[in-house]
């Protein structure tokens, strides 16, 4: 298989994986529904930056070394699971406060839009992806199975660029579509339900990752 065919296959597999629901998708939906298009696009930039780092670490073999070292990989799992639990509890706590004090929750939501929201949004997107041990394993598998060691430097750079660009395109498209005026009104009306669903998703995935880490210690 020549390099062009490898890159096309890599792009196809990666894009299919991007479209499957997970923490990244939930993060985009939750934040776009609360804070609108600009924050959703910033989250998308943070998520794709995390994928860029994963791609570089995988293609250079660093991620493989981490996976092969049980202690290091367990640390990554514990950090990633704990961060997802943090996001999950935060979403569920916001839902609880909104139901208990509707007026106060509304004021708090408005304040969060002003206080360094874009910087926090990028950081949240980046950390969600970079600390996800499932992403680490996925990119190791993707690179090791599709990108041969004999591939040219240009080909490897192209592979990393494609993975980053597709992630940025997909997450940005999601944020853009979810923030159209008509859909934004519906999302705002359903914000409490979205918080609840996203909180449960983050919490369940976080618990599953922590359970895996603890069971392998």
Question: Is residue 72 scored above 50 in pLDDT?
Answer: yes
Question: Is residue 67 scored above 80 in pLDDT?
Answer: no
Q: What is the mean pLDDT of the chain?
A: 82
| Residues 73-115 pLDDT 10s | 888 888 888 888 888 888 787 676 666 655 544 444 444 443 3
What local confidence, expressed as pLDDT, does residue 23 receive? 86
Do the beta carbons of residue 133 and residue 210 sit within 8 Å?
no
The pairs formed by 16-25 with CB atoms below 8 angstroms and a separation of 24 or more are 17/138, 18/166, 18/167, 18/170, 18/171, 19/170, 22/134, 22/205, 23/84, 23/87, 23/128, 23/132, 23/201, 23/202, 23/205, 24/125, 24/128, 24/129, 24/171, 25/174
Q: 0.95 cut: is pTM over it?
A: no
As a whole number, mean pLDDT of residues 52-60 equals 91
Domain extent listing, the chain: 28-215
| Separation between Cα atoms, residue 76 and residue 83, nearest integer Å | 11
pLDDT over 70 for what percent of the chain?
Answer: 85
> Cα–Cα–Cα angle for 170, 175, 176, nearest 5°?
95
- Least Cα distance to 121 among 44, 33, 187, 174 occurs for 44
Chain centroid to CA 36: 18
Which structure tokens are listed for 209?
Answer: 């990752």
What local confidence, expressed as pLDDT, does residue 102 receive? 57
| Residues 156-206 pLDDT 10s | 999 999 999 999 999 999 999 888 877 777 766 676 777 788 788 888 888
CA distances from 198 to 17, 59, 165, 201 (A): 19, 32, 25, 5
């Amino acid at each position: 298989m020549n390099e062009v065919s490898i890159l096309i296959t890599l792009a196809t597999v990666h894009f299919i994986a991007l479209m499957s629901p997970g923490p990244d998708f939930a993060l985009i939906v939750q934040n776009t529904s609360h804070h609108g298009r600009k924050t959703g696009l910033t989250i998308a930039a943070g998520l794709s930056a995390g994928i860029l780092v994963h791609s570089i670490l995988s293609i250079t073999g660093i991620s493989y070394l981490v996976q092969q070292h049980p202690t290091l990989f367990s640390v990554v799992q514990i950090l990633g699971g704990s961060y997802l639990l943090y996001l999950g509890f935060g979403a569920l706590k916001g839902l609880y406060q909104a139901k208990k004090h509707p007026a106060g929750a509304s004021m708090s939501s408005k304040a969060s839009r002003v206080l360094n929201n874009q910087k926090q949004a990028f950081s949240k997107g980046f950390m969600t992806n970079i600390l996800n041990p499932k992403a680490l394993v996925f990119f190791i598998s993707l690179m090791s199975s599709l990108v041969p060691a004999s591939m040219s430097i240009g080909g490897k750079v192209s592979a990393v660029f494609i993975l980053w660009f597709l992630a940025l395109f997909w997450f940005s498209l999601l944020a853009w579509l979810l923030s159209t005026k008509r859909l934004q009104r519906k999302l705002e009306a359903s914000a409490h339900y979205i918080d609840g669903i996203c909180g449960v998703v983050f919490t369940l995935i976080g618990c599953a990752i922590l359970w895996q880490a603890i069971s392998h210690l």
